[in-house]
Amino acid sequence: MNPSLQIIFLIALIIMLILSAVILIVCNKKKVANLTHEKALLVEKIKNQKALEEPKKIESETELKKLEEKNRKLWQMSETVHKERKKIEEQNELLQQEKQKLELAKQKLDEKVKKLWNTSTVIHKEKERINELKIHIEHKHQEILDSVNYAQRIQKALLANKKLLDENLPQYFVLFMPKDIVSGDFYWAHKLADGSFSIVTADSTGHGVPGAIMSILNISCLNEAVNAQHLIEPDQILNYTRKRIMEHMANDGSEEGGKDGMDAIICNFNFQSNEIAFAAANNPLWIIRQNELIEYKADKMPVGKPMGEILPFTQHKFTTQKNDLIIMITDGMADQFGGPKGKKFMYKPLKELILSLANKNLDEIKNTIEQNFMDWKGNHEQVDDVCIIGVRI
């Protein structure tokens, strides 16, 4: 081929290639422009979508957080419920154990109630029996009380009465406090054939009903001595009374036989000669004269069977002075327990008390002695009968 043609062809080919390249470039530019536009639209669209989706995403995240918080709380609640359930199960188990214990305790209690019911039935029957016995005992007690009260009337009738004492004594007081309704202590008086007035203050063996019965025997023997035997001297009266008491008591059923009797003092007041003759068995005679207490000792033997040899009683006689206070006592007040230490009152304080009252009127003396006795005794039981007689010359 011709070289010129070849050059032209090459040039044409180059131009065509350049045109193709230009066309391709132009086309590509258009495509790039289109793509760029589409990309811009897509980006804008995406931005718009993101703008629309952002609140939803935030709301979703908030809801998600709330949901997670709820789930966390629910989980905690679940754990709490689990723990509480476990506790409840444990408590139920304990309750079941307690229930079993209570059922066992109830069973035992039912058995006890049954036993108590049976016991109650027995007690009720026993109570009915005791009530019947109580009524019976109260009835018997009332019968005994009526009998003792009647015995008191009999014993009182044998004591020296107020009329007899008023007629024969210028001034006197009698403090007589039996331990029980009836008494072993007694006071007896008699107008003697020689014109003297005889008073006995005595403490019979025992007190209460036995003492009262003994006192009746003692009074009976004294009456026999002065009424049947017409005895006047105090020692003779006591000697005879002792003899008769021993004879009566010889067959009392005891091994010794006849040991019961009385401690006594007998005083014969002769107001014309101003003399007192007396004999005393264990109980002394006190005279308060010019603020001094004079004590006449008693024979240390009872009016009854003695421990040793039977000896006659000693008779004493003395002249009285105006305002002498003659005191005849038994041992009841001196032997009374009481005071702050629960000890006996004793004779020395009794002497001091009576000496301190010697210048008072006789009613005041009696009332003060009685009050001192009650104060000393306090809540203690009275241990013996009390008898104190005072005669003002």
**What confidence score (pLDDT) does residue 54 get?**
64
| Residues 179, 34 share a domain | no
Per DSSP (E only), the strands in the chain are 171-177, 185-191, 197-204, 261-270, 275-281, 285-289, 292-296, 303-304, 316-319, 325-329, 337-338, 343-344, 386-392
The reply to whether 335 falls in a domain is yes
Percentage, residues of the chain above pLDDT 70 = 87
Q: Mean pLDDT across the stretch 193-217?
A: 91
The reply to whether 4 falls in a domain is no
Least confident of 48-57, 149-158, 228-237: 48-57
**What confidence score (pLDDT) does residue 298 get?**
95
Quick: pLDDT tens for 96-114. 888 888 888 888 888 888 8
| Residues 240, 384 share a domain | yes
The reply to whether 120 falls in a domain is no
**What confidence score (pLDDT) does residue 29 get?**
66
pLDDT at 172 over 60: yes
The reply to whether 98 falls in a domain is no
| Residues 44, 166 share a domain | no
Structure tokens at 64: 């998600």
Residue 327: how many CA atoms within 13 Å on its side-chain side? 29
| Residues 220, 354 share a domain | yes
Percentage, residues of the chain above pLDDT 90 = 51
| Cα dihedral 53, 55, 58, 63 sign | negative
Quick: pLDDT tens for 242-284. 999 998 888 776 666 667 889 999 999 999 999 999 999 999 9
Read off the CATH number of the domain in which 248 is found: 3.60.40.10
The reply to whether 6 falls in a domain is no
6 vs 268: which has the higher pLDDT? 268
Concatenated DSSP letters of 190-216: EE-TTS-EEEEEEEESSSHHHHHHHHH
How confident is residue 10, by pLDDT bands cut at 50, 70 and 90? Answer: low
C-alpha to C-alpha distance for 35 and 194, rounded to whole angstroms: 181
C-alpha to C-alpha distance for 256 and 350, rounded to whole angstroms: 35
In the chain, the number of structural domains is: 2
Q: What is the mean pLDDT of the chain?
A: 87
The reply to whether 292 falls in a domain is yes
The reply to whether 306 falls in a domain is yes
A 10 A CB-CB count for 148 gives 17
Q: Mean pLDDT across the stretch 343-372?
A: 95
| Residues 360, 238 share a domain | yes
Q: Mean pLDDT across the stretch 227-256?
A: 89
17 vs 337: which has the higher pLDDT? 337
Quick: pLDDT tens for 282-325. 999 999 999 999 999 999 999 998 888 889 999 999 999 999 99
**What confidence score (pLDDT) does residue 139 get?**
81
**What confidence score (pLDDT) does residue 269 get?**
97
> What is the pTM for the complete model shown?
0.66
Structural domain for 374, as ranges: 162-392
The reply to whether 112 falls in a domain is no
How confident is residue 220, by pLDDT bands cut at 50, 70 and 90? Answer: very high
111 Cα distance to chain centroid: 34
